[in-house]
Amino acid sequence: MRVVIAGAGSVGRSIARELLHNGHQVLLIDKDVDDVHARLVPAATWLLADACEISSLHEAGLAECDVVVAATGDDKANLVLSLLAKTEFGVPRTVARVNNPKNEWMFDEAWGVDVAVSTPRLMTALVEEAVSVGDLVRIFTFGQGQATMVELTLPENSPFAGKRVGDVPWPDDSVLVGIIREDHPIAPSRDDSLEAHDELLFLATPEIEDALEAMLSPGERQPRDKE
């Protein structure tokens, strides 16, 4: 897979190193790159350019890449790059970094963004996940917010602790995609049982999150804010 990453800061370089380690081709674009930065990820191809300029993106060969990652520290630049990647070069997949959570609402298909990644939101979710049992935690939002990845640690008093996965009346528009039990991941089948303190991972729509939480965790729950 050929990946173009705009922004050679610590985030962009970390993504590049992981992708290179996994055998992908990576081009890093940054208008302020120097030899010091380049030596930090020597296996990548580097381009000194402004990623918001059409001529620079032609030079980067965006039309031949599989994924564009907009990882700069400027939300405006990340949006412009995502839009250009989709509309001018037909890039199959775009991933954009959200620096300011207040700008999240703009990172959608209208701006050419397939996946928006908000570091503050992810960190908040991880903190909540670490201290919450029985509360549904939103980990990730896909595309225009039509689907989310959520996590819930099953409490001991859940009416479904000890039940088979296939016997649980899961709400429509929710899919149990993983169970983490004692730090070991499990791909759930109908015959697997749910145990207290299992971390349950779901793909769901935002509209059914409250229903899913209320079903698995007894007691009164406060409705979560809708975005």
> Which pLDDT value is given to residue 122?
62
pTM over 0.75: no
Q: Would you list the domain boundaries of the chain?
A: 2-118, 132-216
Per-residue pLDDT tens over the stretch 107-123: 999 999 998 887 666 65
195-213, pLDDT tens digit by residue? 998 989 999 998 988 899 9
Which of 3.40.50.720, 1.10.3720.10, 2.60.120.920, 3.40.630.180 would CATH assign to domain 2-118?
3.40.50.720
- CATH number for the domain whose boundaries are 132-216: 3.30.70.1450
Given this model, what pLDDT does residue 222 score? Answer: 47
pLDDT tens profile 129-170: 554 666 777 777 776 557 888 888 899 899 999 999 999 999
- Cα–Cα distance list, 130 to 79, 101, 134, 200, 204 (Å): 32, 21, 12, 13, 21
Whether residue 15 is predicted with pLDDT greater than 70 in this model: the reply is yes
pLDDT at 78 over 90: yes
Give tens-digit pLDDT for 24-73.
999 999 988 665 566 788 889 999 999 999 999 999 999 999 999 999 99
pLDDT value of residue 34: 66
pLDDT of residue 227: 46
Render pLDDT for 175-194 as a digit per residue (tens, 0 to 9).
999 998 888 889 999 999 99
